Copies of this chain bind each other. A is one copy, B any other.
Amino acid sequence: PIERSQDGTLRLLDQRALPHQERWIEVRTAEEAVAAIRALAVRGAPAIGIAAAYTIALIAEREGVEQARSAAHALASARPTAVNLGWACRRMLARLEACAGDGQDVASALASEADAIAHEQHAADRAIATAGAELVPPGGRLLTICNTGALATGAEGTALAVALEAHRRGRLAEVLVLETRPLLQGARLTTWELARAGVPHRLLCDSAAATACARGLVDCVFVGADRIARNGDVANKIGTYMLAVLARHHGIPFYVAAPLSTFDPATPDGRSIPIEERAPAEVSEFAGQAIAPARTKVWNPAFDITPAALVSAIVCERGVLRPPLATAIARVAGSAERSRRAGGAA
Contacts and interface: CB of A to CB of B under 8 A. Distances in A.
Contacts of A202: 297-299
Interface in A95-144: none
Nearest to A145: B207
Contact of A299 (B203, B238, B246): B203
A239 B214 contact: no
Interface in A206-255: 206-212, 214, 238-239, 241-242, 245-246, 248-249
Interface string A281-319: 001101101111101111111001100000000000000
A166 B241 CA distance: 30
B286 A191 contact: no
B19 A292 contact: yes
Contacts of A20: 290
A51 interface: no
Chain A interface residue bracket vs B: 35 or more
A63 to B, nearest CB: 39
A201 interface: yes
Contacts of A292: 19, 179, 187-188, 191, 203
A195 interface: yes
Nearest to A18: B293
A192 interface: yes
Interface of A is mostly: mixed
A205 interface: yes
Given A212-B299, A293-B192, A284 B238 contact: no
B249 A211 contact: no
A79 interface: no
Contact of A204 (B214, B283, B293): B283
A210 B245 contact: yes
B301 A203 contact: no
B286 A207 contact: no
Interface of A: 19-20, 145, 176, 178-182, 184, 187-188, 191-192, 195, 201-212, 214, 238-239, 241-242, 245-246, 248-249, 283-284, 286-287, 289-293, 295-301, 304-305
Given A184-B291, A210-B304, 4 more contacts: A192-B293, A201-B297, A211-B241, A214-B241
